[in-house]
Homo-oligomer: A and B are copies of this chain.
Amino acid sequence: MPKIVDHDERRLELVDATWRIIARLGIEGATMREIALEAGFANGALKPYFPTKDTLLAFAFSHVFNRTNERIEAVTAGKTGIAALRAFCVEVLPLDEERINEARIVIPFWQKAVNDPEKAAIHRESMEQWHAALLGHLAEARESGAVTTAVDDDALAGQLLNMLLGAQIWAALAPEGQTDLGLNEQLEAFLALLTR
């Protein structure tokens, strides 16, 4: 009986191998050959799944974004207003080794996107989604009286979102092994300004 192959499963194995290789060798060093080797595939065996490195990368980045969104959904469930805002941001901030590694992966994606309109559009869609979520939580916070500032919510959500993006750079370029970067304090500072 031939071995039954779960193709979705194998795609995810390849994604995981891709992360490990990018983290170790950088995006330029992450050749299809290195990724196949890392995942235990024969060299040509990647092609049916991902014909090019680009299709593999696009899939891999979508996967990380989806995984982050699943975590956000889990931690904000049942929360509204400032509590939801805090939970959302804490989940996106690179506060531990796993998320610092994700930051080290999102930067190569951004770099690719600078010269690739399709990847830039993926990024923008994701950010619009996050911006809308932050706006929603700000509106809840206003409704409950927790936020009273006359400053425009749209600008506040944008400011917070850019801080979350900047934090990825800060973390990815921090000295090896340094995980306490004061990012949580920055978030709390911003929330304190909003709610005092």
Contacts of A190 in B (CB 8 A): 159
Contact with A166, one of B25, B113, B162 (Cβ below 8 angstroms) = B162
A61 CB to nearest chain B CB (Å): 13
Contact: B173 with A162, CB < 8 Å? no
Contact: A185 with B158, CB < 8 Å? yes
A65 CB to nearest chain B CB (Å): 14
For residue A50, CB closer than 8 A to chain B, the reply is no
Name the prevailing secondary structure of the A interface residues. helix
For residue A108, CB closer than 8 A to chain B, the reply is yes
| Interface residue stretch chosen among A9-17, A31-39, A77-85, A147-155 | A147-155
CA distance A170 to B114 in the complex (A): 10
Q: Which residues of A contact B (CB under 8 A)?
A: 25-29, 104, 107-108, 110-115, 117, 120, 123-124, 127, 149-152, 154-156, 158-159, 161-167, 169-170, 172-176, 182-183, 185-190, 192-194, 196
